[in-house]
Amino acid sequence: MTKVFKATPLFDAHRSFIRLPMGTRMLNDYPDSKAFLDQVSKTIPEAIEDFSHTQAFLKSYSRKSEATYRSYRNEVERLLLWTWTVSEKSVIALKRPDLESYFDFVHNPPAAWVANSVDDRFRQIGGESRQNKEWRPFVAKIAKQDRKNAVEAGKSIPLTKDGHTLSHEAMKICYSALSCFYDYLTDEGYAFGNPIPAIRKQSPFLIKGVTSKSIKRLSDLQWDYVLDCATLAANKDPAHERMLFLVAMLKTLYLRISELSDRANWQPVWKHFWQDTDGNNWLKVLGKGNKIRDISVPSSLGPYIKRYEAHRQSMSASFGVNASLVAKNRGAGGMTSRQLRRIVQQAFDLAYEKMRAEGFSDEATALREATTHWLRHTGASKDIATRPLKHMADDLGHASMGTTDRVYIQSDMKDRARTGKERDV
């Protein structure tokens, strides 16, 4: 197999993609992608139809949500690039052995297909969307802690592109997305059936059961430091009021970061906080699967909400119920998930520095791996012992209490190990 990545990205980010015309006219402002498709079609004439049907598939699913589009785009784009440059066939010419080879490829892609970091597919140059030469269909697994340590030490980031493998969860997404893709092609009369379910059934990459049930969450000490550092920062500089509001909201209301972000079909605003006739407080959010839910807001969160609200009022005379829930410091409107993550990361960094300075080096090191989603797990893990399972499932946005039970109600591994040691032969 060639050690050189010969392909180009095909489909842009959601906001750009939904505005583009159908068919190959989509590539008018993407000269590198157009040249790549033209070159491929010389040896694989069906590539044009592959592209058009894939674009139509993504157009259909882009209507549901940006997250759905992004997930499906990543998977079908990888398949097209592999099909054309490695298998050198049309996507509808792939037989079961071809697709089995593809899943082997995806599970352990060659280094040439793996990037060092997440990069945009295109860069704007002279009014055109040109290929970003650094982009690849896969991204190397580099631990968050290793990446930050390297940056702070002024060293190059350690690379692990060789031996890169997709996780069990990533492979599940791959099978699911491509099965949906082949169902669509079959419905459109372009493909003659969907071979993915049969391949998935025999897959060696989908492992049943786990050896250790654990969720990633902050310890009580880590959470105390994160909240304390965010509070101290906000007390010193009002610019950090937003950071304090974010960490308190994410942890206490078990929120996903996307549920506080601006999206094409939903903009969180202050009127989404509401009170029922009994005086109970709620927050309305749009969660996964485009499902709206109301989350109960505890009294303990009230001071943090009022504090950030007062800050917003002091910053803008026009602040009202229709104002963005989490606002930019400059400009109008809300923030993206990526921007919100950066703000939360500032709180983690402050807590890391303080914990390390005060002698909690092990806890500080573990905090380096924390992400915004850990705050959701932290809040839910603490509350699951005192709240009814149904109430937890509703506030978390789980369709089934079984999901909540499976994720959060687990035997403690340390206690399990301790009692295991005491068994007799």
Dump pLDDT digits (tens) for 392-406: 999 999 888 877 777
Q: The whole model's pTM is what?
A: 0.67
Residue 285 β-bridge partners: 293
- HSE at residue 352, side-chain half, CA atoms within 13 A, is 15
Coil/strand/helix, residue 419: helix
246 neighbors 266 (Cβ within 8 angstroms): no
Looking at the structure, tell me whether residues 178 and 126 fall in a common domain: yes
Looking at the structure, tell me whether residues 343 and 251 fall in a common domain: yes
Which residue carries 């040896």 as its tokens?
A: 43
pLDDT of residue 330: 74
Q: H-type helices in 18-142, by residue range?
A: 31-43, 47-62, 66-82, 96-107
How many angstroms separate the CA atoms of 311 and 164, rounded?
A: 46
User: Residue 117 domain-assigned?
Assistant: yes
Looking at the structure, tell me whether residues 195 and 233 fall in a common domain: no
pLDDT of residue 420: 66
Looking at the structure, tell me whether residues 177 and 267 fall in a common domain: no
238 neighbors 364 (Cβ within 8 angstroms): no
Coil/strand/helix, residue 174: helix
The count of domains in the chain is: 2
Token digits of residue 275: 């009170």
Q: Which domain holds residue 46?
A: 14-148+163-201
User: Residue 143 domain-assigned?
Assistant: yes
Residues of the chain with pLDDT under 70: 1-3, 142-164, 207-214, 409-424
Looking at the structure, tell me whether residues 400 and 331 fall in a common domain: yes
How many angstroms separate the CA atoms of 189 and 352, rounded?
A: 56
Whose CA is closest to 311, among 285, 303, 339?
303
Task: Answer left, alpha or beta for residue 126, where phi above 0 means left and psi between -120 and 50 means alpha.
Answer: left
User: Residue 158 domain-assigned?
Assistant: no
Instruction: Compute the CA torsion angle 379, 383, 385, 386 (nearest 10 deg).
Output: 170
Which residue carries 């924390």 as its tokens?
A: 370
User: Residue 263 domain-assigned?
Assistant: yes
User: Residue 9 domain-assigned?
Assistant: no
Looking at the structure, tell me whether residues 125 and 26 fall in a common domain: yes
The sign of the CA dihedral 398, 403, 409, 415 is negative
CA distances from 202 to 102, 108, 194, 195, 206 (A): 14, 18, 15, 12, 9
pLDDT of residue 211: 44
Looking at the structure, tell me whether residues 382 and 308 fall in a common domain: yes
Dump pLDDT digits (tens) for 345-365: 999 999 999 999 999 999 999
pLDDT of residue 208: 62
Token digits of residue 340: 């919100």
Looking at the structure, tell me whether residues 233 and 194 fall in a common domain: no
How many angstroms separate the CA atoms of 145 and 346, rounded?
A: 14
Q: What is the CATH number of the domain that holds 267?
A: 1.10.443.10
Token digits of residue 123: 């860069």
User: Residue 190 domain-assigned?
Assistant: yes
User: Residue type for 35, please?
Assistant: A
User: Residue 282 domain-assigned?
Assistant: yes
User: Residue 258 domain-assigned?
Assistant: yes
How many angstroms separate the CA atoms of 94 and 105, rounded?
A: 14
Looking at the structure, tell me whether residues 99 and 230 fall in a common domain: no
Looking at the structure, tell me whether residues 191 and 273 fall in a common domain: no
Looking at the structure, tell me whether residues 246 and 384 fall in a common domain: yes
Looking at the structure, tell me whether residues 296 and 256 fall in a common domain: yes
